[in-house]
Amino acid sequence: MDEQFILRVPPSVAERIERLMNEAAAGSSSNPDDSSLDLSFSEDGRSGTFMIGNQSFPASLLDLPTVVESYKTYDDSFLVKTADIGQMVMVREEDDPAPEGVEYKHGLTPPMRDARRRRYRREPDLSAELVHRVEKDLMSIMQGVSVNQNASVVGGGGKKAAPAHAPKPDVQEPAANGEEAEPERSDSDESDN
């Protein structure tokens, strides 16, 4: 699979990129300095600069709230998946504010606006103590040590968990002489004969 990302640029930059691609496809270029594209990132790997010709724009690498699949076709009949895209490079004008955080919370299309809050359930509120206790119990179980079953259940209102008793299966004991034992009969079974 290819490595891909989404490049989101302002409308003015999009027009220039489209013009450059059309000129490159036609084989004509008016000015080689105006036809250069460059994207470089600083040491943090999240902020950088997008250069088109002699003009530079601030850029940010952002994570998308969902994975986007990319497809291409060779014959207009069959689609071939080429990549899972999880990041976007957002180029913005100089006066536009930088996005907050490392995740672009709105996705790519209008229905995905604020997708993380609207479409996904919230992470549970877990205390560090609870996580540590459960982790310790799991490690004990994996090492073959029994865990105290009378520990209090979280969210149970302070009730103690009762040990679970498995129901005794209804299995007949074999007869002492090795023959099959007859099933026990009730009084109602005898009256049917």
| Number of C-beta neighbours around residue 126 at 10 A | 10
End-to-end CA distance of the chain: 75
**Model-level pTM greater than 0.75?**
no
- pLDDT tens by residue, the chain, 193 residues: 567 889 999 998 999 888 888 887 777 666 655 678 889 898 888 899 999 888 899 999 999 888 889 999 999 999 999 999 989 999 999 888 888 888 888 888 888 888 777 777 777 788 889 999 999 999 999 988 776 655 544 444 444 445 555 555 555 555 555 555 555 555 555 555 4
For the chain, what's the residue count? 193
Q: Which pLDDT score, from 0 to 100, does residue 153 have?
A: 43
| Number of C-beta neighbours around residue 59 at 10 A | 23
Cβ-based neighbours of 66, under 8 Å, separated by 6 or more: 107, 112, 115
Cβ-based neighbours of 7, under 8 Å, separated by 6 or more: 88, 89, 91
Q: How far apart are CA 183 and CA 14, in angstroms?
A: 85
Q: Which pLDDT score, from 0 to 100, does residue 74 have?
A: 92
| Number of C-beta neighbours around residue 55 at 10 A | 12
Q: Which pLDDT score, from 0 to 100, does residue 150 have?
A: 55
Q: How far apart are CA 162 and CA 153, in angstroms?
A: 10
